[in-house]
Amino acid sequence: MGGMSGQGELDFSGERPSSGLDRWREERRRAQLELARRLDLPLGHPVEVWLVNGIRLRGELRLAEERLFVDESAAHSLGLMVDGVAFSQNEIESCVRQD
C-alpha cells in the first residue's frame, strides 16, 4: 500500500523532536525575516529612526504586535516600535541600521 498520502511518519531515530512552541517561534522568525525583506526594514536590528514629526528614536526595530501572518494589503500600515514608542511605517522619514 505504498503511496498513502497525508499520513505522518514516526521518527524513531532517537533525536528529540522540537516542541510545538519551538517550531512556532522558528516559523515566526522566518515570517518576520520575509516581512522585513518585503518592506525593506531592518526588523530585529538596532536602528536610528527619524519620524516625520521630527522625533528621533534609537533602539531595536520591532513589530508593535507579534503576528505570524501579515495581510499583504496591510503590510505598509503595520505598527512598528523602537524604544517603547509605537508608530507606523508611513510615519518614518528615515531609518538607518546601526549594526
- Domain of 77, in residue numbers: 20-97
Does some domain include residue 37?
Answer: yes
Residue 52 lies in a domain: yes
* CATH code, 85: 2.30.30.100
Task: For residue 91, tell me if it sits in a domain.
Answer: yes
Q: From CA 17, how far away is CA 66, in angstroms rounded?
A: 25
For residues 53-70, average pLDDT:
83
Report which DSSP code applies to 82. Answer: E
Rounded average pLDDT over 34-61: 90
Residue 97 has pLDDT above 60, yes or no: yes
pLDDT tens digits, residue range 13-47?
A: 555 556 888 888 788 778 777 877 887 889 889 99
DSSP code string of 27-68: HHHHHHHHHHHHHT--TTSEEEEEETTS-EEEEE-EESS--S
The count of structural domains within the chain is: 1
Which band of pLDDT confidence, cut at 50, 70 and 90, is reported for residue 50?
very high
- Closest C-alpha among 50, 46, 40, 47 to residue 76: 40
User: pTM for the whole thing?
Assistant: 0.65
- 4, part of any domain: no
